[in-house]
Amino acid sequence: MKIKIGISTCPNDTFAFHGLLTDKVDCGGFEFEFELLDIQELNDRLFVGDFDIAKASFHAAILLADQMLVMPSGSALGFGVGPLLLAAEQNAAADSVESFQQRYGRQPIVLCPGQHTTATLLFQLFYPLDVQLRQVVFSEIMPMLSRGEADFGVCIHEGRFTWRESNLGCVADLGTRWESETKCALPLGGLLGKKQLGTDVLQKINAVIRSSIEYGNEHRPETLLSMRRYAQEFSDQVLMSHVDLYVNDWTIDLGETGRRALHELSTQANSIGIAAPENSELEIL
């Protein structure tokens, strides 16, 4: 059975799927056809039904809840994993977004890594302000801030480890704020499966994916081959730091902690009108 699957180029995904990408794990009778894309590209392609299984931001997952369910394995979820709100000003204060209009007489320009990313949802939750919100590819956010082309940017992925090298300021850790206000882990993204495939098929696919994640955990040095192939010129140390942060027990299985976090994210999204309550509760396989 052919399964069209989309994953991101981020190290946590190429680490988790290394076993399948390199034929080191039994495919369980499935023929996986992979595409590796930026997370917002994956979100966009899911909205037009291009994948049977795909990584998605949980923001996008909420909007797709009537068509897709969340696979128990493959998520990026945890504590201390959230996006950072960075500023072009190195010494930016904690209230610099709120006070920007008064200080400079214009709306701040804020960069986010995609309309349906969880990073954008968090910014909208915590900063319900009049700003010029612009969506760009995540890897462009720090360079644009450094060039003075924007005032603030929501930084994800490897940027958590490298932002200081760009002489930027950190206004807030949005993940820390989420944890403080909700007492939940932060759900960033996960694998979605088409409901029309049926529970039995999806459970078999999830078992294969789980095996690939476990293979990666058991063969960490080997996974660098896949991570280097798709990473944007980061060192092995940064790649493994990324894996250490985003691949954890909840990547293997969401468990009760993950389920509670997803319920809270749905509730928070409903509170600002992201989706109607009757359509946004995430169903987990």
Which residue, among 206, 208, 212, has the nearest Cα to 226 in the 3D structure? 212
Same domain, residue pair 195 and 273: yes
**Residues 115-120: what's their mean pLDDT?**
93
pLDDT at 221: 96
- Beta-carbon contacts of residue 66 (< 8 Å; ≥ 6 apart): 279
279 band by pLDDT with thresholds 50, 70 and 90: low
Q: What are phi and psi of 120, to 5 degrees?
A: -65, -40
pLDDT of 125 strictly over 90: yes
pLDDT at 40: 86
CATH of the domain at 26: 3.40.190.10
- In a domain? residue 285: no
Structurally, the chain folds into a number of domains equal to: 2
pLDDT of 160 strictly over 80: no
Q: Which residues are catalytic?
A: 157
Same domain, residue pair 198 and 75: yes
pLDDT of 232 strictly over 70: no
Distances (CA, A) of 87 to 17, 143, 151, 154, 188: 34, 12, 6, 9, 22
Structure-block tokens of residue 207: 């078992």
- In a domain? residue 233: yes
Of 135, 155, 182, the residue at which a domain comes to its end is: 182
Structure-block tokens of residue 171: 């206004």
Which residue, among 256, 251, 252, 261, has the nearest Cα to 282 in the 3D structure? 261
Each residue's pLDDT tens digit, 86-114: 999 999 999 999 999 999 999 999 999 99
Of 182, 217, 232, the residue at which a domain comes to its end is: 182
Of 182, 203, 231, the residue at which a domain comes to its end is: 182
Same domain, residue pair 263 and 223: yes
Same domain, residue pair 134 and 71: no
Same domain, residue pair 90 and 178: yes
Q: Is the pTM above the cut of 0.95? A: no
Domain that holds residue 68: 2-79+185-280
pLDDT at 156: 87
Same domain, residue pair 174 and 210: no
pLDDT at 139: 87
Beta-strand relationship, 186-194 and 68-70? antiparallel
